[in-house]
Amino acid sequence: MRKNTILTTLVLLAVALSTAAQIHLNFGDNSPMRKLQMAEVAISNLYVDTVDENRLVEDAIKGMIEKLDPHSSYTDAKETKAMNEPLQGDFEGIGVQFNIVDDTLLVVQPTVNGPSEKVGIMAGDRIVMVNDTAIAGVKMSRTDMMKRLRGKKGTKVKLSIVRRGVSEMLHFIVKRDKIPVHSINAAYMIRPSVGYIRIESFGAKTYDEFMAAADSLTRQGMQHLIIDLQDNGGGYLEAAARLANELLSENDMIVYTEGRRVKHQEYRARGNGKYRNMPITVLIDEYSASAAEIVAGALQDHDRATVVGRRSFGKGLVQRPIELPDGSMIRLTIAHYYTPSGRCIQKPYVKGEKADYQKDIENRLKHGELTNRDSIHFADSLKYYTLKEHRPVYGGGGIMPDVFVPLDTMRFTKYHRQLNSKSIVINQTLKYIDSHRKELRKRYKTFEEFDEHFSVPDDLISDLKAEAGKQGVTPKDEEELETTLPYLRHQLKSLIVRDLWGMNEYFKVWNKESDIVNKALDIISGE
């Protein structure tokens, strides 16, 4: 018996090694590729237990990538699709913004002229069943809910809805369609003659959205433009380059890239930019990254804009997407971004050590860099000069603004941070809106009326404090509570506006208390 087992094992091993050898006819005997594939063949054929061969390969890919830079990555087919949707400009689904309240999907807003709005679904509706399958009260994840709601354009889905004030359950058949994803959060006249555009990310449609917004503001009398790139994590290089082209003069460098196996490549303005003579102010913070840094760096290096805020994230690595046959993707770093003056945008990192890299923002706060400009130190070797006025600027990671605005940690207390981290603020806001939507709509016919006359009611604050107490979140003392309340009330009002009107109106309210926005306005007005 033992002899037969040994014989069988030897046969299997011979087959495995023979197969591996045949696969690797194009590789030398000591090739790393030959070694890797022989290992995979041996494990899949000889290992004592059944193995998932696909998982084996995916783990090997992830293992290799983990030893590289912090931005090279591998995503499976589902992750790849979810990652690409916000940048592609649309997805296919029913067209609702929603949130989860008490284990139930609550419609915050249906997309204007979208599939759900067309059949009569309203803000405040609770979707409790999808195709006769319960999704409320069953602890279903947000991802699984989205999976049931989304589907190919033209397919139909049955939704069962509970509506406040209506006793019986309502049923709708919704025909899925293309749903646009906008990368411009807000565009409005923030002051007479001063336009404001907030860009969330750089996607396939960002340039068209930006031009439409800028043209609209120009018709309203815009003579100075604020481009807000705070919290903008980046996106497509081409989208950033197209936008920057509209703001720079002919042959001005926008960005260039270089890598070990990638030729030096330059992106330059063509000189046909519609807004190349308009005064520009750019807003950035520690979460502005990648494509956002390309735009900010180009405008700063050409002395084309005043950059206001805090040092940006420092992501200056170019990833090339490598699509694999099963829909998965490797995003492999192939080059560095450089600003026109020659600054490398990428902050330092150690290959394979992502923990410290991911704590960079936290470390900046600890070291005082977010609160005090004097805590930021640059070596002389990192000094560069702008291309027209020859002002000193610095490399070493990220874009350092021309005008530094410290983070006000006194106003945003620890108690407030805990209220946000546990989603207490957002959940209590949703419950308040759900209970008072009709009343608010009836009382305030327009956003302008609401903005001028609405004050956050004390009962909302009381309910929020009570819920926070249940979850063990309490202020250190009465002084911390009193410090928290003004900024908390402002946040609550902004969130209520967002759910009643939209993101544009949200930023009209939120920006009133933004230190970075207000500093920019002071500079523009000459104060």
Catalytic center residues: 290, 301, 315
269: left (phi over 0), alpha (psi -120 to 50) or beta: beta
Residue 74 to residue 260: CA distance in whole angstroms: 21
The encoded tokens of residue 88 equal 């592609």
Alpha-carbon distance of 186 to 152, in angstroms, equals: 29
Beta bridge partners of 91: 179
Give me the helices (H) in 475-514, please. Answer: 478-500, 503-510
Report the alpha-carbon distance of residue 514 to residue 221 in Å, rounded.
24
Q: Which residues contact 343 (CB under 8 A, 6 or more apart)?
A: 297, 301, 382, 384, 393, 394, 395
User: H or E segment at 177?
Assistant: strand 177-180
Task: Name the helix (H) or strand (E) containing 255.
Answer: strand 253-258
Closest by CA position to 310, among listed 337, 289, 340, 338: 289
3-state class of 176 per DSSP?
A: coil
Using CB atoms within 10 A of its CB, is residue 83 exposed (0-12), middle (13-18) or buried (19+)? middle
